[in-house]
Each structure stands twice: as structure tokens, then as C-alpha cells.
């Protein structure tokens, strides 16, 4: 892995007030630490730091401090929760002869058969792979071709192609990607409202002990009905 050079300056003062002053001048406060390494408070150019971060998460850096080069990696980047600007950076010194444990991004390539031909949805479950290796063997990323993946099928960590010298720490049976069937949203059918007859409504209310107040029209209709029934009986 190719190293990127980054110049850093030691800062004598620490604290939030001093950090704000540093950021106003186009620099980012940071700290360097590591095995058998005393913490060093320093500052780096915000523009140069952005360029390094854009190269990837696991870039090896030749950090130049007081004309001395140290092989480091970015351990942590702290950002403003609102504006998302970088406010602090941690560098970790590494030895090229000692293995490091890191997480490498997983990138999918191709269009899954289940997506292309059957309208399925590709779901990536695992986006990073934890590995252990020497700093110079750190992969930039791990790619996975999903072209042959059909609906209901998945790829596990075991299917990933890992370069020599890299030991995978993530369980090999962990699912990386899967293709799920498309979701069909059925239009909800509204139940047809049945219109109850006045007599039925009246009967139900009376059974439930609800007082029924009849309108004049209803009373008149019932009176006419009663008269018709009496005439029929006389016949």
C-alpha cells in the first residue's frame, strides 16, 4: 500500500479555546499515540487532511513531525454534530512488522439476476469486514460480484475473495448480501357498508335499551300501515 505524506506541527497549548483558534487558521487539532509512543498534541492542514480521508479509511500515512517521519493511520475523526466539519483527529502509530486489526469496506459489483430479471431488491447486510494483517497488506476494499445472485439466495463471508496475508476475523457464516422478493402492496378494500332498514335499526336499539324517538314522518307511516292492515282483516 502506497503511503501518503502529511506534515504536522506540534502544538504547545491544549484546550477548547486553543482548538477553536487553531481551526480558525485553517488547521485541525489532533493527537498522535501508539504502542510505546507518548501522546503528541499536534495540528495539521484541514485541506490536506480532507484529501487523505477521501483516499479511504485505511490509508497509511507518513506523518512528518519536526523532520521525523512516523508511519501512522487515522484512528478517529471527530466532527461537529451540526455542521459535520472536522474538529479533531486521532493518529495511531503503527509498526510495519506488526499486524493490525482493522475494518475493510465491502463493495458489491454487477447487477443481481434476481433484481434484473425478477424485480427483487438487493439488501447488503454486512458493509465492513474485520481483518488482521500487516499494514502493507491492508486491502483498500473487498469487492463481491453479485451478478448470479437470485431471489432468496445470499452470499456469506465465506464467498469473499481475500488476498494472501489477510486473516478474516468476521464469522465466515455471516451474511453479506441477499436478494429479497419485491413487496406487492395490495390496495386495501373498503368493506361495503350495509344500509340498515329503519325497522331493523329500531329493533336493535330497543334490544340494547336505547330510547328510540320516532320522527313525525315515521309515526305517520306506521299509522297508515296499521290502517291498511285493519282494512285487509275486514275483507
For 199-213, the pLDDT digits (tens) are 555 554 455 454 544
What range defines the domain where residue 225 resides? 198-234
CATH of the domain at 16: 2.40.240.10
Q: What's the pLDDT at 62?
A: 95
Mark whether 84 and 165 lie in a shared domain. Answer: no
Q: What's the pLDDT at 203?
A: 52
Q: What's the pLDDT at 204?
A: 46
Q: Which regions of the chain are under pLDDT 70?
A: 1-2, 184-227, 229-235
Domain-embedded: residue 203? yes
Mark whether 155 and 217 lie in a shared domain. Answer: no
Mark whether 117 and 173 lie in a shared domain. Answer: yes
Q: What's the pLDDT at 218?
A: 55
Q: How many domains is the chain built from?
A: 3
Residues 6+ apart with CB under 8 A from 199: none
Amino acid at each position: 500500500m502506497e503511503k501518503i505524506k502529511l506534515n504536522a506541527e506540534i502544538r504547545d497549548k491544549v484546550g477548547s479555546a486553543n482548538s477553536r483558534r487553531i481551526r480558525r487558521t485553517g488547521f485541525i487539532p489532533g493527537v498522535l499515540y501508539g504502542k510505546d509512543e507518548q501522546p503528541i498534541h499536534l495540528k495539521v492542514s484541514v485541506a490536506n487532511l480532507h484529501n487523505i480521508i477521501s483516499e479511504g479509511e485505511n490509508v497509511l500515512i507518513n506523518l512528518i513531525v519536526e523532520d521525523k517521519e512516523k508511519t501512522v493511520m487515522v484512528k478517529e475523526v471527530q466532527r461537529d454534530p451540526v455542521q459535520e466539519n472536522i474538529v479533531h483527529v486521532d493518529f495511531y502509530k503503527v509498526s510495519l512488522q506488526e499486524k493490525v486489526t482493522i475494518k475493510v469496506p465491502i463493495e458489491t459489483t454487477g447487477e443481481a439476476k434476481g433484481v434484473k430479471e425478477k424485480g427483487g431488491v438487493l439488501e447488503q447486510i454486512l458493509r465492513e469486514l474485520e481483518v488482521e494483517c500487516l499494514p502493507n497488506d491492508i486491502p483498500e476494499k473487498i469487492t463481491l460480484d453479485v451478478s448470479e445472485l437470485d431471489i432468496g439466495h445470499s452470499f456469506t463471508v465465506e464467498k469473499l475473495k481475500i488476498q494472501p496475508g489477510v486473516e478474516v476475523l468476521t464469522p465466515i457464516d455471516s451474511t453479506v448480501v441477499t436478494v429479497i422478493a419485491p413487496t406487492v402492496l395490495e390496495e386495501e378494500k373498503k368493506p361495503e357498508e350495509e344500509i340498515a332498514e329503519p325497522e331493523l335499526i329500531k329493533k336493535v336499539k330497543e334490544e340494547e335499551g336505547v330510547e328510540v324517538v320516532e320522527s313525525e314522518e315515521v309515526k305517520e307511516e306506521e299509522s297508515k300501515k296499521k290502517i291498511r292492515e285493519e282494512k285487509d282483516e275486514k275483507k
